[in-house]
């Protein structure tokens, strides 16, 4: 109950703080659970192999989507990106608090082949030559991949 003359309600403020703190953790726990339901392996991308439709896929029909959950608790994970031949793509790296801590893709790192070493907060190893280190603030990271396509015939080319 709020104090007389006060515009705030401590219970409401506490509930709001709990929501802000816990919502992203619950959302990403749900994403991980959903991936496990379809036997998706950790540390591997699941990528669409067809254009999205109103009933399946995503909200944009010119985008192939992919997701991966990286388990960074024990060791880093290498994201091995082939030459995208100037195709637009982006990989958002998102921690368990819904913070997008890095982006890989045409706008940020270019479209040449590259290897990115994604490490958790406790990892203290050596970065192999030729790899870029990206440090996750959490021991798990959700990766969201978007790849631009022109039409149905372009899907096979984008998935090479």
Mean pLDDT of 80-100: 94
In whole angstroms, what is the distance from residue 103 CA to residue 107 CA?
A: 9
Mean pLDDT of 11-28: 86
Q: Edge to edge, what strands does the sheet with 131-135 contain?
A: 77-81, 114-119, 131-135
Mean pLDDT of 110-130: 97
- Indicate whether 118 pLDDT > 60: yes
- Indicate whether 1 pLDDT > 70: no
In whole angstroms, what is the distance from residue 126 CA to residue 109 CA?
A: 21
Kindly indicate the confidence band of residue 4, based on its pLDDT and cuts at 50, 70 and 90.
low
Mean pLDDT of 27-37: 84
Kindly indicate the confidence band of residue 97, based on its pLDDT and cuts at 50, 70 and 90.
confident
Residues in the chain, total: 160
Neighbours of 120 (CB within 10 A): 21
Kindly indicate the confidence band of residue 131, based on its pLDDT and cuts at 50, 70 and 90.
very high
Structure letter (DSSP) for residue 14: H
Q: Is residue 94 a contact partner of residue 104, using CB atoms and an 8 Å limit?
A: no
Q: What are phi and psi of 17, to 5 degrees?
A: -60, -45
- Taking the CA atoms of the chain, what radius of gyration do you get in angstroms? 19
What tokens does 8 get? 């705030």
């Amino acid at each position: 109950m709020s104090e007389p003359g006060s515009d705030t309600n401590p219970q409401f403020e506490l509930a709001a703080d709990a929501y802000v703190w816990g919502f992203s953790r619950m959302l990403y726990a749900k994403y991980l659970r959903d991936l496990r339901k379809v036997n998706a392996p950790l540390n591997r991308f699941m990528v669409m192999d067809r254009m999205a439709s109103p009933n399946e896929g995503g909200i944009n029909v010119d985008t192939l989507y992919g997701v991966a959950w990286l388990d960074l608790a024990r060791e880093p994970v290498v994201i091995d990106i082939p030459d995208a031949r100037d195709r637009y793509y982006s990989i958002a790296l998102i921690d368990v608090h819904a913070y997008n801590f890095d982006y890989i893709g045409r706008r940020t790192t270019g479209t040449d082949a590259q290897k990115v070493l994604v490490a958790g907060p406790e990892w203290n190893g050596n970065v192999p030559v030729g790899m870029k280190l990206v440090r996750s603030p959490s021991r798990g990271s959700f990766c969201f991949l978007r790849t631009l396509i022109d039409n149905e015939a372009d899907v096979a080319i984008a998935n090479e």
